[in-house]
Structure 1
Amino acid sequence: MSIEQGNLSYLNTPAVGPWGDYLKQIDRVAPYLGSLSRWIETLKRPKRVMMVDVPIKRDDGTITHFEGFSVVHNNSRGPGKGGIRYHPDVSMPEVMALSAWMTIKNAALNLPFGGAKGGIRFNPGEYSTGEVERITRRYTSEVNIVLGEQWIPAPDLGTSAREMAWLMDTFSMNRGHTDYAVVTGKPVSLGGSLGRQEGTGRGVYVVTCEAAAKLGIDVSQAKVAVQGFGNVGGIAAKLLHEHGAKIVAVQDHKATVFNDKGLDIPTLIRYASLNGSVAGFKEASETADRGAFWGVDCDIMIPAALEQQITRENAGSIRAQLVVEGANGPTTPEADDILSDKGVLVVPDVIANAGGVTVSYFEYSQAQQSYWLTDEEIGARLTRSMREAFGGVWAISKEKGISLRTAAFIVGCTRVLEARDMRGLYP
């Protein structure tokens, strides 16, 4: 089933959840857009929304149906770029919001992409490898009409290079030739880029160091709390640990562990990899109260799990001076206001976690040219891009006396709407 633009009247009703948060963010930036504000509805309406049925035959011979989603939010600046999420809580409003944040993020980093996102509502951990492969391939076939020219996917929560390889192969078989550029985050042996898996976490690390320096925080002496311990939170924690920071708290989907003297992050990463969680790590204390994480004594907090984690209920408990959003949409607008009143600096997701899509752009370009960069070249280009983007947003924030989030949205929305204005309307 494809829900085209004319049938999206429900978008005009009061929105809640991640999509509602995004709309509030757009409303906050509108007064700064000048004459471009006449195009503001462009940002509030996805270009194409699809919900697809994904049926597969299970290993036991039974048939199971899954709900799949694909949203191309905007392609004024290029094909939509954004990952595919496998999670039991995936929903259409969530995928819409994630696709819209990708539009802003790609523009804020000045990448030649629009925004898009996809997802399937299921827990991949409850299915065999063969079943996950069949789900991935069937989903790819169902959304085939938007892949490549309108949407270039990548890994996200619950997916990895493995799923991207299956997607590329399915798409290529349907086209009759191998297309390395249809998806990013692939295995290096299949046209993937060095540094892609670490890209988002490394980008979080870079902007954390940049923001900390602005606040006079010595990262090598800082206490850091990290929510989410996968490719984003885990890698950011590892790099900060190597820089001398003390990671005093880590929370994942099962447990929260603390050590005021600093957790041994390399050991914790190995432990979590073997056990599927940080739960039971003997070199730390543990609590069943997930809310206790937000009140931990720290200088820097990195929410790198899911959206809507920092809310009006827990924002007042945060003791950090700096919050760096490794996840997409982890802070609600109401919580943003509370943190601002407390004097907490928030580096927004559309800048902080843009390292992954930046390296995806490098991968996309390499695939088109069949010319591959070294790990050192990727790292240097990523660091430069993240620093330049943060520096530009910081300057606007100081010039106008506004939050970094609003400043980042000014940059992103202006670039998108300038492109929309220059292209005009067809027909």
Structure 2
Amino acid sequence: MNQMQTLLIIGFVWPEPNSSAAGGRMMQLISLFQKQGFQVVFASPAQDSDFMVDLSEFGVQKESIELNSSSFDNFIKELNPTLVLFDRFMIEEQFGWRVAETCPDALRILDTEDLHCLRFARQKAFKEKREFQISDLLAEEVAKREIASILRCDLSLMISEYEMELLTTTFKIDNALLYYLPLLLESKAIHDLEKLLSFEERKDFVFIGNFYHEPNWNAVQYLKETIWPLIKKQLPEAVLNVYGAYHSQKVLQLHNTKEGFLVHGRAENAQEVVKKARVVLAPLRFGAGIKGKLLEAMQCGTPSVTTSIGAESMQGNLPWNGVVEDNPELFADKAIQLYQDKDIWLQAQNNGIEIIKQRYLRKLFEGDFATQIQFLVSNIKQHRLNNFIGQLLQHHTLKSTKYMSKWIEEKNKKSVS
């Protein structure tokens, strides 16, 4: 392999683009780097899954790796990548020091997906029945690990402008270490409006989301207990179809035909489901990042009703693809209005198309992203000198994590023998 063109991605899991926005995001990143001329190797310590994508079909080499094993050092030394991308901070914690020690010249990039510390701090505040405060973030244990990971890397990819702002203001992280790259869509993703089902041809409400993700499970409970009864009371014929990968028995138990609350599990084709629905409901009460399900709704010409957490950092100064409302009674009223009023519905649909055109098309980002990567590859020494705190953390982490990992490796050897 040509050293100049090798990208190693170390994945937390194997990509499942049909299960979550994170899986789709990873495939977008692979495509962006391939267009820049990188040959991509995807390695992960995760078990294979039934729904993982066949990476070889996308020209990506797949490699299984082990945690706490020097076999990884041999693997990466031979590969000698120009660039290493860590999929979430937990993976950087595990493998970052090995990359820094074995391939010190490789550019290290972190794909955050969303700020985990923000999601956890909001969830904790929600469970304690109080408003989230910025000070919650500073007290969040995960923040110490996640921010250290961001500082150790040469660049962190962010999908939310709000999270970029938090990192630069609350955590005082240099802008040069951050890069805004939201979920991206091809130009053809804006389906010809004439090909989409009309207002009259659509029916029902829909919720869609991966149930591994706590904010999604919470939103479905909230729909079942609070919001859906308010909608059903005024629209007795209405049906809410709930779809999501990795549903458990507790999710299936919410299914109730009489209430029009139908739990279907995994959608074979999420877009087909959303295109047939008239309105997407997403009453998310905590979380972070930007929401793939709401971008998908825009793509399918389906207006959505969500909360301020759901819509965070998604629309810029543009009007929303439907309604943003945190009060449950108003949420239900606006959902009913959107469901019944064709003029309001059509305006919402157009708003969604406009948001995609101005904020999520791949062509808006790929040129600048390629320039940024090439600049860092060429100027890595100076870039790192400007990030002294990152160097300091790398130095100390390498020492502590290295010896902890070596101890675990020795322990594992003894238990095997």
Q: TM-score range by the shorter chain?
A: 0.3 to 0.5
**TM-score after normalising by structure 1:** 0.32
Decide which structure has the larger Cα Rg and report it.
2
**TM-score after normalising by structure 2:** 0.33
